[in-house]
Structure 1
Amino acid sequence: MSAIRTVLGDIAPDALGATDAHDHLFFAAPALAGQELDDPAAAEAELAAYRAAGGTAVAQWTPFGLGRRAAELPAVSRAAGVHVVAATGLHQAAHYDPALVRGLHARGLGGFFTAELTEGMVEGDDPDGPRGPARAGMIKVAGMFHGLDDHCRRVMAAAAEAHHATGAPIGVHHEAGTAAPDVLALLHGEWGVPVTSLLLGHLNRFPDPGLLRELAASGAFLAFDGPSRAHHATDWRLVDCLTELAAAGHLRQLLLGGDTVVAAARSVTGDGPGLPHLPRVLRPRLARALGEEAARAVFVDNPARAFAVDWRGGTPYGRR
C-alpha cells in the first residue's frame, strides 16, 4: 500500500498536508560548530509554532552521523502534532571521520541505508549503536561544488541500491545549487533511479533560468529552500524562479523548504525566520503570484507525491 513513512509510522499520502519539504529539527556539522540544532525542547517549540502558522509536516533532511537525534524525533513530532519524515544517508566526506565512512562501506552502505528505511534508524551517531523503532522515510546524499568526488559517487551508488530495495525517494544537497546535471547522470543515467524519485535540493542558490528549465525537463522534483542565512543573496529570486517554472508547465515538480541549519535561525529560540516563515510568509506570497491552487500544489500535493512509496514492493507512488 502506498504510504509516506514518518517517524511515528506510515500515513496515507493525503494525510501529510502542508509540508516544509526540506528542513532540519536537529543538525550538528563540524563546519557549524557552536551553532548546533541539538535541543529537543527548542525543536518541539519550533514545530509547535510552525503548526500554529498552518504547517502540518516537515521533512528533516539530516542524514546519519550529523546529530539527527533519531531517538528524540518521535516524541517531538507527537508533542507538536506535526508529521516528521526523517532521512538516512550521508553528507559530504568533510563532515565525517574517514574511519567511520570506511567502516560503513565495509559493512555495506546500501544495506545500512536500507535497514534504516525498513527496520529502524540507529539512534546515535555510532552505526553499531541501538536501533530504535522510528524508520527513515527518505535518503539524503550530497554533491560537491560543480562536481562529484569519489565519496559522493560511492554514497550515491549506495543510495541507489537502497532506493531499488525500498522505493524510497532520494534528496540531494547540491553545494551552492551546482552539479545537478552530474547527479542526474549518475543516479538516473548510471544507476537507474527514476527521476521522479529524485528531489534536487538548494536549486535557488544557483538560479540560472536555463539550467532550471533543463533540470525541470528531466522530470525530477525541484526543491527550493529559503530564506537561508548563508545564501540570502539569492532569496529574492525564489518566487520568480517558481513562477517561471510553473509558467513553463513544471508546477507539479516544485517543492519548498526552509533549510534551518543553525540555532540562531529558529523563530522561537533564535531570531528567525525559522519554520513558520513558510506557511506564514512564503505560501501567501506564492498564492498572490500564482493563485491559491498553485500554492496548494507546491505545499500540499507535490510533497504528498514526492515522499510516498509502495514500501512493500519498492514501487514509487503516484509517479507521472
Structure 2
Amino acid sequence: MSRVRTVLGDVRPGELGVCDAHDHLFLRSPQLPGQELDDASAARAELVAFRAAGGAAVVQWTPYGMGRRTADLPTLSRATGVRLVCATGLHQAAHYPAQMLQGLRGRLAEVFVAELTEGIGTTGVRAGLIKVAGGFHALDAHARWTMAAAAEAHHATGAPIAVHLELGTGALDVLDLLCDELEVPGDRIVLGHLNRFPDPVVQRQAAASGCWLAFDGPSRAHHATDWWMPEALRALADAGFADRLLLGGDTVVAGARSVNGGPGMPYLLRRVRPRLTQVLGTQLVDRILGVHPGQAFAVDWK
C-alpha cells in the first residue's frame, strides 16, 4: 500500500492534510551568502504560523549537501504538529564545492537509495523524495548525471522525483530525459516553478505526460509572473488537468520568512488560497492543497 514517507514515519496519503508541497525549512548555498535558512527557532516559528493558518504538512525540497539539518526535523515536527517530508537528491553544480561533487562520482544513485531506505547519516530519518534541477532552457552534463541517478534510485525504490526548473524553463527537456530516455512514469515526476515561465502551451504539453505541476512562490525575484498563477491554473483545469496541480511557498532565504517580515509559509493559505478560490472554486483548491500532495508523494515503497 502506498505511503508518504515523513520524518516521523510513513503515513497514508489521506493523512497528510493541507500541504505546502514545495518549501524549505533549512537551506544553505554559496549562491546565497548571508541569506541562509539555518535557525531552528525561526523554522519552528514559521511552522507554528503555518499551522495556525490551517497547514498540516510541508514537503521540504532541500537536497543533499545544502544544510538540510535533518536531525532537527523530527523534533520540529513533533513540537509543531506539522508533518514534514525530507528530500534527498542534488541541486545544480553551482551550489556545491567541486570536491564534493567529485566525491559523489560513481555512487550518486547509491547515496539517493540509501537516504530513501536506510536514513540520512546517523539520524534515522528517511527521505521521501528525490530533488534534482535543470538549467535555463537546457540540460547540462551535471543535470543529466543527477537525473540519471535519480531515475536509477526511483526504479529501485519507487520514490518521486521533484525537479527545480530554472526560472520555470526546460520542462519538456526534463520530461524527454526522465520519461522517454530513463523510463520514469510521468506521475512520479513533480515539475517545480512552472509559474515563473507562464507559457500555457508548454504547461499543457507537460501535463499531458501525467506529471505533477507545482506552482510556488511568491518571491521578489519572480514577482513579475506571480500574478499570472490564478489564470494559469484555471487554463490547466479547463484543459482537463485539474488533477495534476500542486501549490507551494518555496521560501529559500531568511528574509522571506513570515517571522522576518516576509510572506513565508502562511501566505500560501492566508492570501494565495482565497485568491485561487475566487478563480477555481473551493472544491478544487481544497483538493490541490489537501488531496493532491498525498497522491504526488505517496509511494508503494520497494
Q: Does 1:59 align with 2:59?
A: yes
Letter in 2 for 1:294: L
Give deviations 1:57-95, integer Å, cap 9, x for gaps. Answer: 000000011111111111111111100111000000111
What does residue 166 of structure 1 align with? 157
Q: Does 1:303 align with 2:293?
A: yes
2:282 aligns with one of 267, 292, 298: 292
Q: Does 1:262 align with 2:261?
A: no
2:191 aligns with one of 197, 200, 205: 200
What does residue 102 of structure 2 align with? 102
Q: Does 1:137 align with 2:136?
A: no
**Count of matched residue pairs:** 302
Give the gaps of 5 or more residues in structure 2.
none
Letter in 1 for 2:273: R
C-alpha deviation, 1:209, in angstroms: 1.2
Give deviations 1:120-169, integer Å, cap 9, x for gaps. Answer: 113xxxxxxxx211110000000010101111101100000110011100
Q: Does 1:178 align with 2:177?
A: no
Structure 1 SS opposite 2:58? strand
Q: Does 1:251 align with 2:242?
A: yes
Distance 1:2 1:221 in 2: 17
Q: Are the aligned partners of 1:251 and 1:297 in contact in 2 as well (CA < 8 Å)?
A: no
Distance 2:9 2:85 in 1: 10
Give deviations 1:184-218, integer Å, cap 9, x for gaps. Answer: 01111111000000000000000011111111111
Q: Are the aligned partners of 1:266 and 1:272 in contact in 2 as well (CA < 8 Å)?
A: yes
Identity of paired residues, percent? Answer: 62
Distance 2:93 2:250 in 1: 20
C-alpha deviation, 1:229, in angstroms: 2.2
What does residue 35 of structure 1 align with? 35
1:278 aligns with one of 231, 247, 268: 268
**Deviation beyond 3 Å, 4+ runs, structure 1:** none
What does residue 9 of structure 1 align with? 9
Letter in 2 for 1:247: D
Structure 2 SS opposite 1:133? coil
Structure 1 SS opposite 2:31? helix
Distance 2:224 2:261 in 1: 18
Structure 1 SS opposite 2:227? helix
Give deviations 1:3-30, integer Å, cap 9, x for gaps. Answer: 1000111011110010100000001111
What does residue 228 of structure 2 align with? 237
Distance 2:98 2:148 in 1: 18
Q: Are the aligned partners of 2:171 and 2:202 in contact in 1 as well (CA < 8 Å)?
A: no
Distance 1:73 1:233 in 2: 33
C-alpha deviation, 1:97, in angstroms: 1.1
Q: Are the aligned partners of 1:226 and 1:238 in contact in 2 as well (CA < 8 Å)?
A: no
Letter in 2 for 1:76: L
What does residue 46 of structure 2 align with? 46
Distance 1:103 1:114 in 2: 17
What does residue 127 of structure 1 align with? none
Distance 1:104 1:217 in 2: 34
Distance 2:7 2:33 in 1: 27
Letter in 2 for 1:167: G
Q: Does 1:120 align with 2:110?
A: no
What does residue 218 of structure 1 align with? 209
Give the gaps of 5 or more residues in structure 1.
123-130, 314-320
Letter in 1 for 2:256: A
Distance 2:124 2:220 in 1: 34
TM-score normalised according to structure 1 size? 0.93
Q: Does 1:154 align with 2:154?
A: no
Distance 1:220 1:2 in 2: 18
TM-score normalised according to structure 2 size? 0.98
